[in-house]
Structure 1
Amino acid sequence: MMNKKRRLATAAHCGTGRKKKQAELELRQSEERYRLMIEGVKDYAIFMLDTTGHILTWNEGARRIKGYSANEIIGRHFSTFYTAEDLESQKPARELRIAIETGRYEEEGWRVKRNGSVFWANVVITALYNEQNKLIGFSKVTRDLTERKENEENLRQSEEQYRSLVQQVTDYGIFMMDEKGRIINWNEGARRINGYTNEEIVGKYFSIFYPEEDILNGKPSHELKVARAEGKYEEEGWRIRKDGSVFWANVVITAIYNAQGIHIGFSKVTRDLTERKKAEKELRNSYDRYRVLANELKQTNSELSVANEELEQFTSIVSHDLQEPIRTIKSFLQLIDLKISQQQDEKLKTYIQKSLHAANRMKELIQNLLQYSQVSKATFSRETVKLDELLDEVLQNVKTSVESSQARITIETQVASVYGNRTQLMQLVQNLVSNSLKFRADEDPQILIRCLKEKDQVKFAVSDNGIGIDKDDLEKIFEVFRRLHTEKDYPGTGIGLAICKRIVDRHGGQIWPESIPGKGTTFYFTLNQATTEGLLVS
């Protein structure tokens, strides 16, 4: 019986031993797996310290973050990673003491790598105890937060720059409001536009800037409601300054949300557009005045057009009707002249000759007046006119005068053709050449005709070496019937240059003289050559 009990006890003892060994094996295997897992972590430096702070273990994350291999660092004190300032203040020892007293120590701060560079670290030191509650060392977990620190610093600097920029803006009132519409900051532009200092306005409801009528109608709260619903609210309207004066403002209110999408308030940007509003009002008033003036001018032009048509009609009728009685008077004077013998009455004969001369001059005046009226009255058709053919025809028409005065005419032209009314252009050039031949000095006439291109115009110049024109008379010469000399000295009606000006006007150009008395005159004129088909000048 005793042997049986002994065998049972031995068997039980052996079973307990086997279980204990199995448990110890499983614990070692678990610890090994845990060790391998810790050593393989790369994003965190995880290592053990003894009770005095010397390093016992070293994982891959610690090697990657701090730069030391396990052989280089195990056995060294963990103060190796601290800056000179931290060592001087005995920070490592203080951290261990706090970990013992509270169970753990955590902070963020600068740490030193093997190569001497620093990094921003999150550090957690935990005090470790055995089953008998005896301190056996510390675990230390370090994470490199340098990138996050740099991002935070960049963000802080960016926010600081943005805040400084906003604060210094003077043309726009920019400020923030809480979700209720109370002002929480205030920039220089807002002070300048609205008149309130930062101390006077922060904490006030933004309806302080609105006219009483808008406040009674609930306009400020309506604007915030729209901004919440649509993201922003924008309008132009009247606002009130601190001194009670009003200004025309462009206002933009924007709803602001944090990173979690929670509404935290509003931004408000105000721009003073009072000057622009005044300018728009003045522009409208100017436009109204212009419209009234335009209507009056249109009416006046209409009346002038009618009067001009009546005047031209009257000129034409008078010119035609006066020619008949002149012809009759001239015919009877000629008959009387034939009937009177030279011996009968010499004085009467002289009177009849003077009367005939006056009748001839009257006829010439009437014909020139009719010609002047027909320049603007006749149908104005344009065509491409070859310049050499035009000038040849002009020279042929004045050939007798050129030969009798022994004049020399020179032509210099860069233009092959012009665009205009052939008949009127020929009359224009011929009148100017005839003038040069008529108002000659003692020497033989020298006449130069030039023509050249100038952008969309053709410019002519007719120069002579004649008697010239006084400076005071230059503006008078284009007036109808204006004569600067007596008919006895220089015959003519005084209408030739008036016809020239009217022809140039009809061609969209300008005509003007340049002259030195006793040395000659140059008449310049331009012809507008622009058409819907482009420049017809070659």
Structure 2
Amino acid sequence: MNNTNPKHYAAAQAAAAVKVHSPGTTNTDTPTMPSFPVWLLALPLAACLPPLLSGWGISLASVTEIPPIQAVNGAQVISNGLFFHTLLEAMGAVTATILLAVALSHYNIRRDTAVPLLALALAAGGSADAVHALLAAAIPTAPPNPAPILLTATIARATGAVALLLATAVILLARPRRLIFGTPGVLVIWVLVSIAVYALTDWMVSGGQPAGSPLVHASPGVIFLACLPLTWRLYQQRRDFFTATITIAVTLNTLLEVCLNLGSEQLFDHYFNAVHGLKITGFALPLAGLLLDWQALGKCQRQQLSADPNYIESESDHRFRAFTEQLPVGVLLVDTDGVIVSVNRGARELFGYQEEQLVGENVDKLVPVNIRHRHQALRNGYQYDPKPRRMAADVDYLTGVRSDGTEVPLEIGLGPIRLNGRTHTLVSVLDISERKQLLDDLKQKNTVLQESEQRLRAITEQLPVGVLLVDTGGAIVSTNHSARELFAYGEQQLEGENVDKLVPGSIRHRHRVLREGYQYDPKPRRMAADEDVLTGVRSDGIEVPLEIGLGPTMLDGRPHTVVSVMDISERKRLLDDLTDKNILMDQTIEKLTQSNEQLERFAFICSHDLQEPVRMVHSFSQLLEQRLTDHLEDKEREYLKFITDGAQRARNMISDVLMFCRLDQPVDSRKSVSLAEVCQQVYNTLHVSLEESRGKFTWSDELPTVTAVPSQLFQLLLNLVGNGLKFNRSDTPTVSLNSSLEDNFCRIEIHDNGIGIKPQYQQKIFQIFERLNAKKEYPGTGIGLAICKKIAEQHEARLLLESEEGEGSTFVLLWPLYQATKTEAFSN
């Protein structure tokens, strides 16, 4: 490398400040600053001379009687001590004001908070002295009254002493790095203190407050005396002209207070005014010290520049460093060789280094090892086209290496800058770890979303129905394979076209109005649900019947409509065929109904008309049997019995057929029927048979009430109980009836101990005229169970059978309860 030392840029300013704050120090390697002017110490000694000479009989004061103000002319006012007193106090206030202005300028450049705080304290004392002078000029009475004037003087001097004491204590204890309230705030505080002092003194003078004791008048000197060790301590810390002159000024003010209280004998005498004149020195000395600091600083910087050509120290440099220190991003200043000249706080915290660990190092130290060689080439290439830009703008992010070896994602900006005639690069680095995490999460979500979209598109492409995505303007955004095949268009022929293109021309205008109206109430629904069939137009102009569904969706933050279309040509054909067949079926049903009615009427008439001849056969055969009993042979008597029994069976069969036919006729006489009462009626009817066969018929105590036609329910139970007693080989035929409630049904079980029925015959026995046993063994017509099943069906009930041969049978009735509730069912 050349003789340029990059650390000079960071250390030169601090070195100059140390030299300024160390007056009188010498070094063979560095230029020296002028020593402290000892002649300034003569000023406190000169303030001690008047009281000493007065003690030796030599007085420098002359007493002048002051006539009332209203009795003097202009020349007399000028010659009296009041005018000189006011002039001297005003000069001190002006000097203090100039000091404050210079101190604020110094702060804006050097950011040294001690200077404006001390200057503000001195300015507060100067303002208080000015207020005292104004009040003193406003109290010209005859004879002059010294009490109010002395009181205001004491308040003014005490204000300045207290302000200086507080400012020195704050600097030594708190050591503020900056002014919280800034330059405007300093001026505002100065004005507020002046107003407060004026208001206090005016109130005390106008209120006639006493002048106070000599101890009160001596209090400013005591406070200044207390300030002396503090200002000396401050000078030991800072070692500059300004604090040295502050210490001399405090000493001077302490001695002046002693001279004023011991030497002056009357208001506005020459001695009194001479001491006040020396107070100006208390403000002029710090002003001179501050100017000497500036002179020493400038000389030191000039000497440094002559000794080191690479040293730069200017106001702009200071402001630049102060500005970059406050930036929330890292900032590095790098020269053309890649050497780091300076770093701000953000960069140090980002990479985990101290300032001295980075300044003077190559910037490649902060680059990952695997790309360090490439970074050097890029850095050298930047020197040929130095312009503000983002570094590696073609990638998402760059990485940097922290002091602990961990890599951190960065966004880096580059910008050229000229310093000391040489080109440098200003590098801004921003930690984007959080942004990268968010970006990674977003990429992952985008990947998932893209996969979902791909799956959705794949699923949509495979759907057997057509799907179109339409925006609010009616433009087709996308279509699936089925939609393109349905309307006979290519893959890209429909996208971007208006959906009205697929609507028949006769209803296209109405469709546009309906489409726009859908946007005000977008919800999933079938399109034109009040119409039977919608139609669409294919690319060849052929209309095809469709069923269309609509559904709203959001795409890229904008509302769209998902349109599903289904070709219902086949369904429409089947529907037309089904309609024709339904018409034919209705006609057939009507014919069958008429035929059934005729058959029922024929069966009823036959059954009714056959009853009379059969009854005549049965009656006359019985009459012949009675009259010819003694004349008939056994064979003839047997034949006559056959005729009588056959006629009786014919009567029974005709009666059962007639009953079976009547069951098809509608009956509206359903009502609530007590099963217990019906069981009692069945028992009464079978009473004789039960006694002859020594059989039993029992039922449970609590039976429900059901809704039925009473006569039909009686016939149903009579047939079932009678069969249980008839088809029975037991010595004691037994039939029991029980019931229970299941949901909306009443389960009625009729159990017997009869002969039972084989499983293969359990459905056959419910058919009309079906018998499983010989007539001689078990007489009957074979219609009884068919009647029972038909009665159950008439009441929307189910009749089931559970039986094993030789184990008896259980007929189960699942009887609907209808209006009867469970409470009503068990009310009996």
Asked if Structure 1 and Structure 2 have the same fold, meaning a TM-score greater than 0.5 normalized by the shorter chain, the answer is yes
**Corresponding position of 1:36:** 322
Counterpart of 1:528 (choices 809, 815, 821) is: 815
Q: Is the 8 A contact 1:237 1:249 kept in 2?
A: no
Q: Deviations over 1:58-116 (max 9, x none)?
A: 33433454344435433333223211123234x24751552365456751332223442
Q: Deviations over 1:126-149 (max 9, x none)?
A: 14254xxx3164433333444555
Deviation at 1:361, TM superposition (A): 4.3
**Corresponding position of 2:427:** 140
The 3-state SS of whatever aligns with 2:342 is coil
Deviation at 1:491, TM superposition (A): 3.4
Counterpart of 2:379 (choices 95, 116, 119) is: 95
Q: Is the 8 A contact 2:336 2:383 kept in 1?
A: no
Q: Is the 8 A contact 2:484 2:491 kept in 1?
A: no
State the AA in 2 paired with 1:80. Answer: K
1:123 lines up with 2:409 in the alignment = no
Partner Cα separation in structure 1 for residue 682 and residue 752 of structure 2: 16
Give the share of equivalent positions with the same residue, in percent: 22
Counterpart of 1:436 (choices 719, 724, 739) is: 724
Partner Cα separation in structure 1 for residue 680 and residue 825 of structure 2: 19
Deviation at 1:528, TM superposition (A): 3.0
1:58 lines up with 2:343 in the alignment = yes
The 3-state SS of whatever aligns with 1:75 is coil
**Corresponding position of 1:395:** 683
**Corresponding position of 2:86:** none
The 3-state SS of whatever aligns with 1:57 is strand
Partner Cα separation in structure 2 for residue 112 and residue 175 of structure 1: 53
Deviation at 1:170, TM superposition (A): 2.7
Q: How has the CA–CA distance of structure 1 residues 29 and 523 changed in structure 2, closer, same or farther, with 3 Å as cutoff?
A: same
**Corresponding position of 1:504:** 792
**Corresponding position of 2:399:** 110
Q: Is the 8 A contact 1:95 1:105 kept in 2?
A: no
Q: Deviations over 1:464-511 (max 9, x none)?
A: 444455666555534444455554443334333332222222222233
Q: Is the 8 A contact 1:415 1:453 kept in 2?
A: no
Higher helix share: 2
Q: How has the CA–CA distance of structure 1 residues 370 and 69 changed in structure 2, closer, same or farther, with 3 Å as cutoff?
A: same
Q: Deviations over 1:305-356 (max 9, x none)?
A: 533552465257426xx34x55566666666666557258887777666555
**Corresponding position of 2:53:** none
Name which of structure 1's ranges 75-84 and 409-418 shifts more when overlaid on structure 2.
Answer: 409-418
Name which of structure 1's ranges 79-88 and 44-53 shifts more when overlaid on structure 2.
Answer: 44-53
Name which of structure 1's ranges 306-315 and 389-398 shifts more when overlaid on structure 2.
Answer: 306-315
The 3-state SS of whatever aligns with 1:171 is helix
The 3-state SS of whatever aligns with 2:343 is coil
TM-score when normalising by structure 2: 0.46
Higher strand share: 1
Q: Deviations over 1:367-401 (max 9, x none)?
A: 44444444444744333433333323322322221
Partner Cα separation in structure 1 for residue 370 and residue 684 of structure 2: 113
For 1:473-488, list aligned pairs within 5 A. 474-485=762-773, 487-488=775-776
Q: How has the CA–CA distance of structure 1 residues 443 and 301 changed in structure 2, closer, same or farther, with 3 Å as cutoff?
A: same
Deviation at 1:120, TM superposition (A): 2.1
Structure 1: segments with no counterpart, 5+ residues: 1-20, 178-182, 262-266
For 1:44-443, list aligned pairs within 5 A. 44-50=329-335, 52-89=337-374, 91-92=375-376, 94-96=378-380, 98-99=382-383, 102=386, 106-108=390-392, 109-115=398-404, 116-128=406-418, 130=420, 134-135=421-422, 137-167=424-454, 169-173=457-461, 273=566, 277=568, 280-281=571-572, 284-285=575-576, 287-289=578-580, 291-300=582-591, 302-304=593-595, 306-307=597-598, 310-311=601-602, 313-314=604-605, 317-318=608-609, 322-323=611-612, 342=630, 355-377=643-665, 379-409=667-697, 411=699, 415-441=703-729, 443=731
The 3-state SS of whatever aligns with 1:120 is strand
Partner Cα separation in structure 2 for residue 201 and residue 502 of structure 1: 65
Partner Cα separation in structure 1 for residue 654 and residue 574 of structure 2: 52
The 3-state SS of whatever aligns with 1:477 is helix
Deviation at 1:516, TM superposition (A): 4.9
Partner Cα separation in structure 2 for residue 70 and residue 448 of structure 1: 109
Q: Is the 8 A contact 1:41 1:61 kept in 2?
A: yes
Q: Is the 8 A contact 1:468 1:521 kept in 2?
A: yes
Q: Is the 8 A contact 1:504 1:511 kept in 2?
A: yes
Partner Cα separation in structure 1 for residue 714 and residue 547 of structure 2: 66
Structure 2: segments with no counterpart, 5+ residues: 1-294, 300-312, 393-397, 462-466, 471-475, 528-534
Q: Is the 8 A contact 1:170 1:192 kept in 2?
A: no
Q: Is the 8 A contact 1:98 1:104 kept in 2?
A: no
Q: Is the 8 A contact 2:600 2:661 kept in 1?
A: no
Q: Deviations over 1:408-451 (max 9, x none)?
A: 44546885443323332222222222223223337443434444
Counterpart of 1:458 (choices 724, 734, 746) is: 746
Q: How has the CA–CA distance of structure 1 residues 102 and 278 changed in structure 2, closer, same or farther, with 3 Å as cutoff?
A: same
Q: How has the CA–CA distance of structure 1 residues 340 and 398 changed in structure 2, closer, same or farther, with 3 Å as cutoff?
A: closer
The 3-state SS of whatever aligns with 1:490 is coil
Q: How has the CA–CA distance of structure 1 residues 415 and 279 changed in structure 2, closer, same or farther, with 3 Å as cutoff?
A: farther
Deviation at 1:124, TM superposition (A): 0.3
State the AA in 1 paired with 2:366. Answer: F
State the AA in 2 paired with 1:382. Answer: R
Deviation at 1:50, TM superposition (A): 4.4
Deviation at 1:155, TM superposition (A): 4.7
The 3-state SS of whatever aligns with 1:111 is strand
Deviation at 1:364, TM superposition (A): 3.8
**Count of aligned pairs between the two proteins:** 479
Q: Is the 8 A contact 2:751 2:810 kept in 1?
A: yes
Q: Is the 8 A contact 2:799 2:813 kept in 1?
A: yes
